[in-house]
A and B are shown apart, each in its own frame.
Chain A
Amino acid sequence: MFTDFRLKIRDFYKRNKSKILIILLIWLLIIVINFILKYYKGPQIPTTSYKPHTAIMDNTEVPKKDQESIENLIHEYIEYCNNKDYEKAYNMLSDECRENLYPTIDDFKLYIDKIFDEKKTYTIQNYSNVDNKYIYEVNIFEDILATGLTGKEDLRMYSEKFVITKENNKLSLAVRNFIGNTENHQIYEDNYIKVEITEVIQAYETQKYKVKLTNRTENTIVLADQTERYEIMLELNNENRNIENIPFGGIYLNPYETKEMEFEFVKFVDEENQAKSMIFNAVRVLKSYSGLESKRQEEMDNAVNLYSFKIAL
């Protein structure tokens, strides 16, 4: 019986000799490759907690193929600033950024001279990524490795957001938290006032609305003078936010006056809460307006109208 079994195996081997050899070879090859992958680690780089291209806000990562280009773009810009090569640095900025922040190169020079008063170095950290915009926090400070912080108590740094936009496979740069501006033409009008919103300027953490206000009456119209708690607000999906930049003396219109202003609200570019409307919550049409606390009640008692309205955005 055992002889018969041996003969069967021998016969099987003879008939499938080449197949068995091929299978053995493949099996051996797999073992060798596995062994190599297990023990060969390749060149190692030091691991650190520094992840410059991973967003702090949501842990998303900037696509690998763009990381080096972004680093080079920022490096080039900072080098131009360090070398006071104003024109080259200025030309690196997007048209929108230049028009909104630095209409002339002289404006830009003032900014550069203030920040780059000595040779500076920098670090980058991806902060947030919205649509095709990569937002990096850039910390700019003295070249500490070169100075050793000699003569300084602590490291002082200047920080701002750089926004790198990818369009048609090209990267463009905006600085000082500037994201972009969009036209948003909205109008409210009644017998007393006409309010026109023309444009929204988005920075990383604020929205600025360009507003044209016209008083259609022979009275003074007060929109905000900080005597009421909620005077002008941005209405979002689930909260209202107060205006941030009421000037000293308040926002008011003399009889038949037209004013162009910018209303600023806290509104992060990467938050999901969307702006729905602008609320004018304490419109006061007054026969007379002094701005004095002592006369306020009397002026309010004689008001032509006290009302509120909102403009959809």
Chain B
Amino acid sequence: MKKKNKILLLIVIFAIILSILILIININKSKNNEVDNEEQETYFEDTSVDKLEGLSEKERILFYFSTYIENIENGNYQVAYDMLYDEFKNTYFDNIEKFENYVKNKYPDIISINYNSFVREGEYYIISTEIFDISTEESISQKFILKEYDYNDFKLSFQAD
């Protein structure tokens, strides 16, 4: 009888430990999913953290940047506007209309980009670009500043000349 009790007790302890471990994993997974969902609503519709984890630092930053450009090209000005650093927005584009006017006047309909340099200064990335208008073959030089806070969480600004 005593032996049976011992065995039963061991099985119960094991079951409890297993349950706790599974619970911890599920809690953490659900937390990650919540964060991912929030960020995806803001910036990306179909980009997962797993995909970004597989990219190198430079690839990741350039991916963020190209997502910003794609949103401008596709007319998703609000999404692109939300990617700007707040203080930068307040200084140069305090409303979405100003930003929309700026990008419509500044950039061609189809944007072609040459990357002149990619520099990291601490947590800041400075991307020097040459933006081409394929139809006229004219180009403008512009620098973009980007800071990544987490996967899918970044802010940027640019030379608003």
Contacts and interface: CB of A to CB of B under 8 A. Distances in A.
B18 A32 contact: yes
A96 to B, nearest CB: 28
B124 A25 contact: no
Given A36-B21, A150-B92, A150-B159, A145 B10 contact: no
A32 B15 CA distance: 12
A50 interface: yes
B111 interface: no
A290 to B, nearest CB: 53
Task: Name the residue among A28, A146, A155, A157 with the largest chain B CB count within 10 angstroms.
Answer: A146
A141 B126 CA distance: 13
Interface in B126-161: 126, 143-145, 147-148, 150-151, 155-161
Interface string A49-71: 11010000000000000000000
Task: Name the residue among B122, B157, B158 with the largest chain A CB count within 10 angstroms.
Answer: B122
A123 B120 CA distance: 11
Given A29-B14, A148-B158, A45 B150 contact: yes
B126 A144 contact: yes
Contacts of A47: 57
Contacts of B161: 150-151
Contacts of A151: 159, 161
B5 to A, nearest CB: 11
Contact of A36 (B25, B122, B158): B25
A145 B6 contact: no
Q: How large is the interface on B (under 10, 10 to 19, 20 to 34, 35 or more residues)?
A: 35 or more
B6 A18 contact: yes
A40 interface: yes
Contacts of B121: 123, 139, 141, 144, 155, 157
Q: How large is the interface on A (under 10, 10 to 19, 20 to 34, 35 or more residues)?
A: 35 or more
Given A36-B21, A146-B88, A28 B122 contact: no
Nearest to B60: A46
B103 interface: no
Interface in A17-58: 17-18, 21-22, 25, 28-29, 32-33, 36, 40, 42-50, 52
A147 interface: yes
A27 to B, nearest CB: 11
A18 B52 CA distance: 50
Given A139-B121, A143-B87, A148-B88, A43 B28 contact: yes
B68 to A, nearest CB: 13
Nearest to B58: A49
Interface string A173-207: 00000000000000000000000000000000000
Contact of A123 (B49, B122, B155): B122
Nearest to B146: A145
Nearest to B56: A47
B25 to A, nearest CB: 6
Interface in B1-32: 3, 6-7, 10-11, 14, 17-18, 21, 25, 28, 31-32
| Nearest 5 pairs of A and B residues by beta carbon | A123-B122, A148-B157, A146-B87, A148-B158, A150-B160
20 contacts: A17-B3, A18-B3, A18-B7, A21-B7, A28-B14, A32-B18, A48-B148, A49-B120, A50-B123, A122-B122, A123-B123, A125-B122, A144-B126, A145-B85, A145-B124, A145-B155, A145-B157, A146-B91, A150-B160, A152-B159
